[in-house]
A and B are shown apart, each in its own frame.
Chain A
Amino acid sequence: MKYLSLIWKNVLRKKLRTGLTVSSILLVLTLIVILTSLLQAMQADPSGGRGANRLVVQHATGLGNFLPLSQRQRIEQIPGVVACSPETWFGGVYKDDRPENWIGQLTADPDIYFDKIFDDAKIDPQVNAEWKATRNGFVAGQKIADKFHWKKGDHIILKGTYIPLNPDLVYIGPYSAGDEGNIFFHNEYLNQSSWFGANKYTGLYYLKVDSGENVPRVAAAIDKMFENSDAPTKTLTEKQFQLQFMEMMGNVKLLINGISLIILFAVTLIVANTIAMSARERVTEMAVMRTLGFGQGHILGFILSEAVLMSLLGGLVGVLLAKFLFVPALVAAGNKTSISAWLVNFRVSPQTLVMAFVVSVGIGILAGFVPAIRSSRLKIVDGLRQVV
């Protein structure tokens, strides 16, 4: 620690160079923070990572095939099932079909949905009660509600696509959860339509199981029960259900991870190059220090700490800038474009910030190593003789 001021002096010796290096570290780290958060937003988990003993029952053939409502009662009788709500993807158009107005629209059974199934979502009990009582009411994820500036009592009209119905819905209030990209309205509403599934079919069943141990048993029991029926089912945990969308983007995920790795490697090289340049310019100086009695370990330590200090600086500023400047600016810009539906669940988690910070220290150590070892191994005589 007592050498800190010496190291700090060295870092500041060429302010411009240090500034440029630190800037490239912070730019790259900002990018890593953005990419990581983007991946997390893509796999937005409704339970916020806690996993909540929830199962999703879909038609074994695939989404877009419907399940008979008669299955509900039989599912509810399976021991371990706390509650089961039919859920249908409405897939309507809000305002116009520009992607920035895209909203996930789902129907559910309001009497049990937030009380017994989606019970880790935060919703004001007053809002929940009012939603139950309002046949044409809907609740929306906080982020969606904020995005469209909905106030209680606002009416929205959705234009049905595969379900020939244009619901006129009243906004009741928000809920907050891991995934805030959806709105929910009453299953009952669909039954007014001339859709072939009205009163007969549902897209999915969403259900809650009493304990984690019972989850696999219940899932297997449901699939077994309907195996030979007209509508065989495929029961997935909530996480697996989300993953199937993620898996379709599988290569995109790989791409993002690949990009992150390559640019981290590139920034390490940039830092290493800078450190090597400074070390080369200071060969004589270091030889003098060695003659004064500083050991090889000292020299190694000095150069390495210089690299780490620079990366720390870059990391710290990068993380702060990412959190408070770049990410909000990008989200604001993105919300005006077709990618806005992607940004609903986009947030920078503390874990991501910590990760970025650790990575920046890693960059420093990796980048400082080769020049540090090289300088420490240099013979004093050679160092003194070298003309730069």
Chain B
Amino acid sequence: MAIPLKYNLRNLVARKTSTGMTAFVIGLVVAVFLCVLALVQGVTRTLSVTASTRNVLAMRVGSQAEMQSVITRDQAEQIQSMPGPERDASGKPYVSAELISLINVARSDGKTFSNVQVRGMSPIGLACRPEVKVVEGRLFNAATNEAIVSRNLSKRYNDMKVGDTLKTGSFRWVIVGLFDASGSAYESEIWTDASDLQQQTKRNIYSSVFVRLPDSEAAARFIEAIKGDQRLKLEGKTERKYYDEQMITGDPIKALAFIVGFFTAIGAAFGAMNTMYAQVSARTREIGTIRALGFSRRSILVSFVIEALMLCVAGGVLGVIFTFLVFNTFLTKPTGTMNFRTFSEVLFNFRLTPQLITAGVVFSLAMGAFGGFFPAWRAARLKIVNALREM
């Protein structure tokens, strides 16, 4: 027969200080774990959110990032003339030859600098990406050194509001608009006209060619066609694959989450174990009495494990609440980390998803099961006579 849950609950409440502290510690551990995972989630989502399998990026063979790739004007024109891409109402293909450059700009705190990616694109570049919308001001015009930046970027850096002139080294841009890219990696970029950027960087080349196709099968065929063209010496990748490959940016953080989670979880479980052992030894006579009343050893075991689980889940819930508080007070702005493939900063938001919350609670349950089992085992093995005799 099972011992009523009320018994465990009351016991936890009766020793408020020690159980409260244990739950608090577990809460902290869960919160730390969740924060790191939410960071990984944020980076991953940024790199995957709108990346589509029907868009193709053509780059030099072996390039890991657009930055590293070099495409000549001839090569770009050849790709533009290949059959397959979707066309707009006037019959122009959705193909945009683009040049990527890095600029060093001041953050809005005025003290630190960071590298931001500038994308010079063909006039059709914006139309190729329907998920990107100009939300303030207007689109840049060619041959005027105008640029648009993402709304997130304009909050994070100086001189990126509509009407500002962005100066860096010998480059000058007038910011004429802000765009929203639905949380994708484009949110970390400045967009301008390709020939303007070629002039400013004095490089008469492109980095990549962006091609929009009707569907993913057409994209696969297009990639084959690029590969098959011996003169071209280029390589095509779907946009999805390209950004998937950049997700290694999240790997070190994932490893960090794993290491931190592992060490803190065992540490906190030891703490919970101590609390539960203390509970068992303080309640030895009580346990003897319960046994004498006819409850089996198994009931005692189950009861104490459940008690530990209750303790830790309380901690887990506390941890989720902590994480929410931290996110809503300190981490409301987008934050950035370095994308190792591009050497530029990628902006993202911490994301606490329902899966993560579940993970946090499961994590606390694991600590409870581990921390509770051994004390419960000891409680279950007590001899009734000895237990009742205990002072």
Contact = CB atoms under 8 A, between A and B. Distances in A.
Contacts of A62: 101-105, 115, 168-169
Contact of A161 (B28, B64, B340): B64
Interface in B244-300: 245, 248, 251-253, 255-256, 259-260, 263-264, 266-268, 270-271, 273-275, 277-278, 282
A234 B106 CA distance: 13
Interface stretch (A111-119, A261-269, A298-306): A261-269
A160 B267 CA distance: 47
A97 B64 CA distance: 8
A255 B327 CA distance: 13
A213 interface: no
Interface in A185-205: 196
B388 interface: no
Contact of A230 (B63, B170, B282): B170
Interface of B (DSSP majority class): helix
Interface stretch (B49-57, B67-75, B123-131, B224-232): B67-75
Contacts of B35: 255, 258-259
A249 to B, nearest CB: 5
Nearest to B339: A248
Contact of B270 (A24, A251, A256): A24
Contacts of A65: 101-102, 169, 201
Given A17-B277, A65-B102, A263-B264, A162 B68 contact: yes
B24 interface: yes
Report the contact-size class of chain A (Cβ under 8 Å from the partner). Answer: 35 or more
Interface string A152-166: 000000011110100
Nearest to B19: A273
A332 B4 CA distance: 49
Contact of B102 (A64, A93, A267): A64
B73 to A, nearest CB: 13
Interface in B144-190: 168-171
B335 interface: yes
B6 to A, nearest CB: 24
Contacts of B39: 255
B251 A337 contact: yes
Contacts of A292: none
B16 interface: no
A59 interface: yes
B31 A262 contact: yes
B104 A232 contact: no
B267 A270 contact: yes
A60 B263 CA distance: 44
B28 A270 contact: no
A1 interface: no
A63 B259 contact: no
A64 B203 CA distance: 12
Contact of A23 (B21, B270, B338): B270
B337 A244 contact: no
Given A161-B60, A196-B203, A251-B336, A266 B264 contact: yes
B69 A161 contact: yes
A63 B352 CA distance: 34
A270 B268 contact: yes
A61 B359 CA distance: 44
Interface residues of B, number: 68
B107 to A, nearest CB: 8
Contacts of B115: 62-63, 244, 248
Interface string A330-342: 1000100111001
A99 B205 CA distance: 28
A161 to B, nearest CB: 4
Contact of A269 (B24, B102, B273): B24
Contacts of B274: 17, 20-21, 270, 273-274, 277
Contacts of A21: 270-271, 274
Interface in B67-90: 67-70
B248 A338 contact: yes
A337 B258 CA distance: 13
Interface in A256-297: 256, 258-259, 262-263, 265-267, 269-270, 272-274, 276-277
19 contacts: A16-B277, A20-B274, A20-B277, A27-B267, A31-B263, A61-B103, A61-B168, A93-B64, A161-B68, A162-B68, A248-B114, A248-B115, A255-B39, A262-B31, A262-B32, A269-B271, A274-B271, A337-B251, A339-B255
Interface of A: 16-17, 20-21, 23-25, 27-28, 30-31, 34-35, 38, 58-65, 91, 93, 97, 99, 159-162, 164, 196, 230-232, 234, 244-245, 247-252, 255-256, 258-259, 262-263, 265-267, 269-270, 272-274, 276-277, 330, 334, 337-339, 342, 388
Given A266-B28, A337-B255, 16 more contacts: A21-B271, A27-B267, A38-B256, A61-B168, A65-B102, A91-B68, A93-B62, A161-B62, A161-B69, A244-B113, A248-B345, A250-B336, A269-B271, A270-B270, A274-B271, A339-B252
